[in-house]
Amino acid sequence: MDKDVLDQGVFFALQEPKYVLNPYSLYRRLRSEAPFHWDFVLCGWFLTRYADVRAALADPRLTTKSFSFDVSQLPPALQDGLAPFGRVKKREVLYNDPPEHDRLRRPLNRAFNPAAFERVLPKMEAVAHELLAGAERRQSMDVVSDYSELLADYMIGELLGLPPANRAKFIEWCNRLKKLTTARRMGYETVLIATEAVKSFEAVRAYVRTMIIARRENFSEDVIGRSLAVEPNETPLSEDEVLANCVFFLHAGARNMSASITNALLALLRHPEQFARLREEPQLIATALEELLRYETPVQVAIRGILEEIEFAGRRIGPKQLLVLLLGAANRDPKQFADPDRLDLTRRPNHHVSFGVGPHGCVGGWMARFGLAIAIEAILHRQTELRLTPRKLRWNPATMRRTVRELPVLVNRRVHDSQRSKLNVARAHLPRPTRVAETPILFSR
Ligand code: HEM
């Protein structure tokens, strides 16, 4: 390990090819040598120990507010064009503290509730089978673009109640907006991306406005309809708030779900003995899901701000500083997880932080678990055999969403009818969400 990696700034180090490929050795060093590490690039403290990360996620003194969407390096006309998008971004539940956070979160708990997803579940299963059947015929697929992303896009379309003919266009608008929020703020390319984003924002906002009007007239079971249905004494979500939370956050969440599916399949393919065991004992699916989410965590970073000087983990930390919580590092902390670098599909308990915890814990956590279960179960059920190709994988840096950009595999189908009965057993073992809760974790563990 380079002597200076910590001095050069962890944020920069995480962009280096070797840590993009595998950030875990750097995390290990941070956890043991510098669990509270000052990074001059982000002006923030990097936290890597499970106990510290979990405590920070749940700490009400920390804020998620004021992470503004910075367009100051773009030409003034584009800044003006993007201002409405910036205002909508600020309405995202994640960027609000209580009591505003609670007001925004309540309708989302209702909108993303088990019933909404149960409605979508069988259709998603059918789509997973259809995608796999196509891959079996072609004998190959890119897991990312031919499977994970299509399943996630299908989920968005169904949850929003988008007519099938408009789905591709709608998701493309959201993708273009997402591209802007993750683009580097320099170069002419960013100007082009921003120009497209302005058009996409106007298009998506106009479309969602018509959806809201229709749902105000007639109740609809989809997430927009459910989020608009207010309880007595509740202030209803505004149009911008529906857009921010039901559309943009659903889109971002679905990209996380797609990354979870890809990462889970890659981990299984790299651990063929574990994959074989899951095929043999599909009732392991419940613990397997949690372990796959822990092992290669898609969202590796959560950020918190500090409003006034506080004492945290025995240190005084001041305002204008950030806490950069490395969820992926916490999920590999040996003090919490025995032999943390080993994939163990039977691991229990497994209180990973892949969905965050505390007030900002993921509202779509159980939905994402089901999406992941469907994606894996379809492969088990069809007896689809996947094999990695020798192509070198390109990872995103951990500071973005940690996943590979493509995952080409060879595909075959092994049909053994004797296995089918076991698969029905697996379905019975899949944890079901039981209630609409204020807390993100709906499964008993
Ligand atoms: C259907 C898919 C998803 C939806 C709709 C969704 C939605 C959300 C929302 C609305 C929040 C903010 C909650 C709040 O501030 O109260 C959130 C937080 C979070 N989500 Fe998701 N999510 C989805 C999937 C995922 C997946 C698959 C992952 C990763 C495995 C993930 C990881 C997280 C994390 C780590 C947080 C906490 C961030 C923080 O505390 O800073 N989400 N999610």
Residue 221 lies in a domain: no
pLDDT of residue 443: 27
pLDDT of residue 297: 97
Task: Work out how many domains the chain is built from and give that number.
Answer: 1
Residue 191 has pLDDT above 60, yes or no: yes
- Contact (Cβ atoms closer than 8 angstroms) between residue 371 and residue 155: yes
Tell whether the torsion through CA atoms of 273, 279, 280 and 283 is positive or negative: positive
Whether 258 lines ligand 1, by a CB cut-off of 6 Å, is no
Tell whether the torsion through CA atoms of 37, 40, 45 and 48 is positive or negative: negative
Centre of ligand 1 from the C-alpha of residue 439, in Å: 12
Amino acid identity, position 362: C
| Tens digit of each residue's pLDDT (9 = 90 or more) over 276-287 | 999 999 999 999
pLDDT of residue 249: 93
CB atoms within 10 A of CB 413: 14
Centre of ligand 1 from the C-alpha of residue 152, in Å: 14
Centre of ligand 1 from the C-alpha of residue 357, in Å: 10
pLDDT of residue 44: 93
Centre of ligand 1 from the C-alpha of residue 219, in Å: 26
Domain that holds residue 416: 17-68+95-159+246-429
pLDDT of residue 415: 65
C-alpha 134/C-alpha 151 separation (Å) is 14
| Tens digit of each residue's pLDDT (9 = 90 or more) over 93-128 | 999 999 999 999 999 998 988 887 888 989 999 999
Residue 344 lies in a domain: yes
- Contact (Cβ atoms closer than 8 angstroms) between residue 389 and residue 406: no
For residue 368, the domain's CATH number is 1.10.630.10
Residue 400 lies in a domain: yes
C-alpha 182/C-alpha 45 separation (Å) is 22
Whether 260 lines ligand 1, by a CB cut-off of 6 Å, is yes
* Measured CA angle at 118 (ends 248, 301), to 5 deg: 40
Three-class DSSP labels, 61-82: CEECCCCCCCCCCCCHHHHHHH
Q: Which of 343, 331, 341, 325 is nearest to 264 (CA)?
A: 343
Report the SS3 class of residue 392: coil
Residue 76 lies in a domain: no
pLDDT band at 61; cut points 50, 70, 90 = very high
Separation of first and last alpha carbons in the chain: 38
Centre of ligand 1 from the C-alpha of residue 402, in Å: 14
- Choice between 160 and 72, residue whose per-residue pLDDT is larger: 160
Residue 213 lies in a domain: no
pLDDT of residue 73: 84
Residue 107 lies in a domain: yes
Q: What average pLDDT score do residues 47-72 get?
A: 91
Residue 27 lies in a domain: yes
pLDDT band at 266; cut points 50, 70, 90 = very high
Tokens, residue 351? 């209180």
Q: Atom of ligand 1 at shortest distance to CA of 259?
A: 27
pLDDT of residue 213: 96
Q: What average pLDDT score do residues 216-227 get?
A: 93
**How high does pLDDT run on average in the chain?**
90
Residue closest via CA to ligand 1's atom 34 equals: 355
Q: Which of 292, 255, 256, 299 is nearest to 398 (CA)?
A: 299
CA 268 from centre of chain: 19
Q: Which residues contact 94 (CB under 8 A, 6 or more apart)?
A: 64, 249, 360
Residue 53 lies in a domain: yes
